[in-house]
Amino acid sequence: MNTGASNVVTPPESIDLSLMDPIFAKYGGNRGALIPILQNAQELYNYLPKEVLQLIARQLGLSVSKVYGVATFYAQFYLERRGRHILKLCDGTACHVKGTPVLMTALEDRYHIGPGETTPDGELTVEIVYCLGSCALAPVAVLNGEVVGRLRQEMLLRTVKKQIDSA
């Protein structure tokens, strides 16, 4: 039956839980290793899928709510899917004054995502941060762990595109 719905529903991402085997082999059922296990898991998946959190809870004999509680407490953990490329755009005072809003607008126009969002193809996530400690290079961003400073719109878009195309 045609429901008339126009939205395309993306199928759920399939999570390969077997990737966690070496991590559990390393830490066993040591509950004290919950944080390193979460860190390792995030390195694997780039975020912490709920299936992985449930698996960790089972393996460590902890409640799922306990594992969620720890994962949500620390800012370093992400529970939403993130892109293969992570752009952290600084909007601290120095960067803001030197043009971060213009850079954000350029990203929104090109990739149709706002702060904290990921492109539907899973390539790029843009996050806003507040001062990266490199104010002299304002406006500054960190792309996949590399600092890029004195950014201008075209330079930023070129740099991001180059990263996406190269991987």
Which residues make up the interface to ligand FES (CB under 6 A)? 90, 92-95, 131-135, 138, 140
Closest chain position to ligand FES (CB)? 92
> Phi and psi (nearest 5°) for 45?
-105, -10
Indicate the burial class of 8 (C-beta count within 10 angstroms; 0-12, 13-18, 19 or more). Answer: exposed
In the complex, the smallest distance separating the C-beta of residue 128 from ligand FES, rounded to whole angstroms, is 11
To ligand FES, the closest distance from the beta carbon of 90 in angstroms equals: 3
Q: How far apart are CA 77 and CA 14, in angstroms?
A: 20
Count of CA atoms in the C-beta half-sphere (13 A) of 112: 4
Count CA atoms within 13 Å of residue 1 on its CB side.
1
Q: Which is nearer to ligand FES, 20 or 151 (CB)?
A: 151
Q: How far is the CB of 131 from ligand FES (least distance, A)?
A: 4
Nearer to ligand FES, 23 or 138 (CB): 138
CB of 136 to ligand FES, least distance (A): 8
